[in-house]
Amino acid sequence: MTTAHHAPGETRPGGRTARTRQAVLTAVFEELDEGGFAGLTMEKVAQRSGIHVATLYRRWRCIEGLVCELLTELSSDVPLPDSGTLPEDLRQLARSIADFFAEARMSCLIEAVVSAAARDPQAAAVLRSFFGERLTLAGRMVQRAVDRGELPADTDPEDVMSALGAPFYYRILIARRPVDRHLAESAATAVWAAACAGAYKKRPANDTAPGGG
Amino acid sequence: MTTAHHAPGETRPGGRTARTRQAVLTAVFEELDEGGFAGLTMEKVAQRSGIHVATLYRRWRCIEGLVCELLTELSSDVPLPDSGTLPEDLRQLARSIADFFAEARMSCLIEAVVSAAARDPQAAAVLRSFFGERLTLAGRMVQRAVDRGELPADTDPEDVMSALGAPFYYRILIARRPVDRHLAESAATAVWAAACAGAYKKRPANDTAPGGG
C-alpha cells in the first residue's frame, strides 16, 4: 500500500546504510520486548546491533528518534482494507490494529513514542506528522464511503479514523490493559453507529461566528 | 468514633504536612506550565516550593510519584452530572473534560503521567488504579441510565465511560492538538449513538469459562 520514499543513502535497499538501519531497528524492537522502554538506552541498542554507539547518536540523535523511526517502519505494515462497504472496512481495519497491538512489544513501542514526545519536541513533531500522514491515508477509506453515499457528505474522514484508533490508544496508555478482538469489534461498531448519527460532521468553516457553508 | 489511622503528621488537615503537600503540588503545576514535563526535576520543584529536596525524595520518591499525585488531586474536581438523561449527562461530562484539558498544563500533566508510567512500574500501577477508580465512579452514571431503561441491560458501564474519555486522550497524546468543545460534542454524540447500537455490550461471561449469571 505504501509507495516508498527513500531517504538519502537508502537508494540501494541492500546497501550498508539500509543494513545498519535494519540491524538497529531490530535491536530496538528486541530490547523493547525484553525490558520495555524503561530500560532502553543507546548503549544497549549499540551492543545488541553491533553498530557503534557513535553512529547511533549521529544518525538518530537520541533514543526518542530511534523509537519513532521504528514505529514508522512497523505501522506501514497495517493494510487499509477496501471491501466495498465502510462497516466491513472498519471491522477489518480494527482487527488489524488489534492484532498489531496484541504483541506486548507493540504496546511498549507506542508507550515509548508517546513518552519520547513528552520529553523531546523533535520526537513530538515526528509523532504528530507520522499520525497526520496515517490519518490522511486512512481517511481515503472513509471518503470512498462518503462518495458511495454511505455517510453524510459533511463527514470528516480524519475524525472518523481518529475515533477508530482512539480506543486502542486509550486501552494501552490509560487503562493499561491488553488490546483484544473484543475491543476491535466494539470500536468498529461504535464508529459506524456514531458516523451515521453525524458525530463526525466537519467543523463549520467559521467556528466562532454563525453563517458560512 | 474512629481512632484514625492517619499517616504521621496528617492528623491535622491544616498541619505542616498538608501545607508541604500543597506547596509542592502547586510548584509542580507551575513548573509544568512553564517548561512542560521535559524540564521537570525534583530540584526545580524543591526550589520553587521552598521544600527541601530530601523531603521530596523521601515522600514522593521520584518526579513520577509527584505528577501522579497531582493528577489525582486535580481530577477529583471534574464533577459527575446527574441530569436525568444519559445523552445530557454525557454532553455535560464531555464538556467538563474538555474544559479540564483546555488548559495546556493539564494536557502536559496527562502526558507527564503516561510518560512516567512508561518509565516506572510504580507510576504505572498508580495510573491504572487511578483511572480504574474514576471509571467505576463514572460508570454509575451509565448504570442509572440502564436502570431507567435508556440503554440495553447488558451494556458495560465502564466501557461506555472509557469510550467517552478515549477521544480526549487520543487528541492530547497522539494527535497532539488542543482539546476543544467541538471534540466534546463529537464524543458525547458518538458514545450515545454507539451505546444505543450495542457497541458496549458486556463481554460474554464465558470468554474464559462458561456459566455464571
Could B193 and A173 be called an inter-chain contact, meaning their C-beta atoms sit closer than 8 Å? no
* The predicted structure's pLDDT at residue A99: 93
User: How many residue contacts between A and B have a Cβ separation below 8 Å?
Assistant: 143
**Residue A3, CA distances (Å) to A6, B84, B177 in order:** 10, 53, 28
Of B30, B54, B71, the last residue of a domain is B71
Q: CA B49, B55, B58, B62 torsion: positive or negative?
A: positive
Residues B118 and B52 in one domain: no
Q: How far is A123 from chain B (nearest CA, A)?
A: 12
Of A53, A71, A89, the last residue of a domain is A71
Query: Distance (Å, rounded) from C-alpha A168 to C-alpha A103?
Result: 13
* The predicted structure's pLDDT at residue B207: 57
Query: Distance (Å, rounded) from C-alpha B59 to C-alpha B16?
Result: 14
**Phi and psi torsions of B203, nearest 5°:** -60, 135
Residues A25 and A92 in one domain: no
Residues B56 and B148 in one domain: no
Would A210 be classed as within a structural domain?
no
Could A189 and B182 be called an inter-chain contact, meaning their C-beta atoms sit closer than 8 Å? no
Residues A59 and A94 in one domain: no
Residues A38 and A65 in one domain: yes
Nearest chain A residue to B203, by CA: A182
Query: Distance (Å, rounded) from C-alpha B95 to C-alpha B98?
Result: 5
Nearest chain B residue to A177, by CA: B128
Residues A180 and A85 in one domain: yes
Residues A65 and A39 in one domain: yes
Which uninterrupted H or E stretch holds B71?
A: helix B63-75
Q: Kindly give the confidence (pLDDT) of every residue in chain B, 213 residues in length, as a single tens digit, with 9 standing for 90 and above.
A: 333 444 444 445 568 888 999 999 999 989 988 877 777 899 999 999 999 999 999 998 888 788 888 888 888 778 899 999 999 999 999 999 999 998 888 888 888 888 888 877 877 887 888 888 889 989 999 999 999 999 999 999 999 999 999 999 999 999 999 999 999 999 999 999 999 999 999 987 665 443 333
* The predicted structure's pLDDT at residue A184: 97
B17 CB burial (10 A radius; 0-12, 13-18, 19+): middle
Residues B174 and B94 in one domain: yes
Enumerate the residues of chain A whose CB falls inside 8 A of the CB of residue B152: none
What interhelical angle do B86-102 and B157-169 show, nearest 10?
A: 30
* Total domains in the fold of chain B: 2
Would B54 be classed as within a structural domain?
yes
Decide if A126 touches B, using CB distance below 8 A.
no
Decide if B124 touches A, using CB distance below 8 A.
yes
Could B174 and A194 be called an inter-chain contact, meaning their C-beta atoms sit closer than 8 Å? no
Residues A91 and A126 in one domain: yes
Furthest CA-CA distance within chain A:
62
Query: Distance (Å, rounded) from C-alpha B206 to C-alpha B209?
Result: 4
Would A3 be classed as within a structural domain?
no
Is B192 strand, coil or helix?
helix
Decide if B189 touches A, using CB distance below 8 A.
yes
Residue B100: give the domain boundaries: 79-201
Label residue B126 left, alpha or beta by phi (over 0 means left) and psi (-120 to 50 means alpha): alpha
Decide if A130 touches B, using CB distance below 8 A.
no
**Residue A145, CA distances (Å) to A1, A7, A192, A202 in order:** 19, 34, 11, 15
Please name the residues in contact with A190: beta carbons below 8 A apart, sequence gap of 6 or more. Answer: A163, A167, B163, B190, B191, B194, B197, B199, B200
The closest alpha carbon to B184, from B201, B200, B171, belongs to: B171
Residues B101 and B166 in one domain: yes
Decide if B13 touches A, using CB distance below 8 A.
no
A86 CB burial (10 A radius; 0-12, 13-18, 19+): buried
Would A143 be classed as within a structural domain?
yes
Of A71, A100, A117, the last residue of a domain is A71
Q: Identify the DSSP state of B40.
A: -
Mutate which of B173, B189, B206 to test chain A, going by most A C-beta atoms within 10 A? B173
CATH number at residue A90: 1.10.357.10
CA angle B50, B54, B59 (to 5 degrees): 95
Enumerate the residues of chain A whose CB falls inside 8 A of the CB of residue B174: 114, 127, 131, 165-166, 169
Q: Name the residue among B38, B127, B186 with its Cβ closest to that of A200.
A: B186
Residues B159 and B116 in one domain: yes
Residues B64 and B83 in one domain: no
* The predicted structure's pLDDT at residue A13: 56
Enumerate the residues of chain B whose CB falls inside 8 A of the CB of residue A167: 162-163, 166
Would A150 be classed as within a structural domain?
yes
Mutate which of A40, A136, A173 to test chain B, going by most B C-beta atoms within 10 A? A173
The string of DSSP letters for chain A reads -PPP-PPTT-SSTTSHHHHHHHHHHHHHHHHHHHHTTTT--HHHHHHHHT--HHHHHHHH-SHHHHHHHHHHHHHTTS-----SSHHHHHHHHHHHHHHHHHSHHHHHHHHHHHHHHHH-HHHHHHHHHHHHHHHHHHHHHHHHHHHTTSS-TTB-HHHHHHHHHHHHHIIIIII-----HHHHHHHHHHHHHHHHTTTTBPPPSSSSSS---
Query: Distance (Å, rounded) from C-alpha A207 to C-alpha B129?
Result: 38
Would B212 be classed as within a structural domain?
no
Q: Name the residue among A159, A167, A200 with its Cβ closest to that of B166.
A: A167
Query: Distance (Å, rounded) from C-alpha A149 to C-alpha A143?
Result: 10
Question: In this structure, how many other beta carbons lie within 10 angstroms of the beta carbon of residue B154?
Answer: 12
Question: In this structure, how many other beta carbons lie within 10 angstroms of the beta carbon of residue B78?
Answer: 14
Would B132 be classed as within a structural domain?
yes
Would A155 be classed as within a structural domain?
yes
Enumerate the residues of chain A whose CB falls inside 8 A of the CB of residue B127: 174, 176
Task: For chain A, list residues with pLDDT below 70.
Answer: 1-14, 205-213
CATH number at residue B61: 1.10.10.60
